[in-house]
Amino acid sequence: MPDPRYGLDCEAPWCDKILDGEKTIETRKYRLPAELIGQRIWLLESGGEENVPSLGDEVLAGSQGARIVGSVTFIDVKKYTSQESWAADADKHRVPEDSPYAFHQKPGPAYGWVVGATERLPQPLPLPQMRRISRSIYEVSQAPVNA
C-alpha cells in the first residue's frame, strides 16, 4: 500500500485516543476536504500548547515539533450546529466540556470527522518534507524516512 500523500497535525494525546479506538470522531472547526474522505492520512503527533500550531507552512524533512505515529482514514463528516448535537456524540469525540476544543468555546458550527480505519506504526517516524494546504492538513512532498 502506498504511503499517504497527506498528513494531519494532531496534538498528543488525541492521536493515541484515535489509534486506540477510544476516539472515533475527530473534531475540528472546519470540514474535511471531500477529496480526503476515504484516503489514508498520516497522523502527525505534535506536543505543543493547545490551540497553538507547532508546525509552520513549510516543513523540512526531519523537522522537530511533531512525528508520524500512524495513519487514519476518515469515512464521513458530521456537522454540529448545536450544543445538543455535540453532546450526543461526546462518547465518540471525547472532548470534555471544559476543553478549549469544546463546541461552545468558538462561534459557528463544528465538524466531526468519522474514523473508519487506523494503523499505529510500530515506531514513530520523523516528519517528511511537506507543506500546509489547509489549517492542520499537510501535503507530503517526500516520503518519510523508514516508511
Domain spans, the chain:
6-140
pLDDT of residue 43: 97
Enter the C-alpha cell of residue 109: 458550527
Look at residues 74, 79, 73, 114 and name the one whose alpha carbon lies nearest to residue 93: 114
Instruction: Give me the CATH topology for the region 6-140.
Output: 2.30.130
Helix (H) or strand (E) holding 43: strand 40-46
pLDDT of residue 51: 52
d(CA 129, CA 139): 9
pLDDT of residue 48: 60
Instruction: Report the predicted TM-score, pTM, of the whole model to 2 decimal places.
Output: 0.91
d(CA 97, CA 87): 9
Residues of the chain with pLDDT under 70: 1, 48-53, 146-147
pLDDT of residue 22: 97
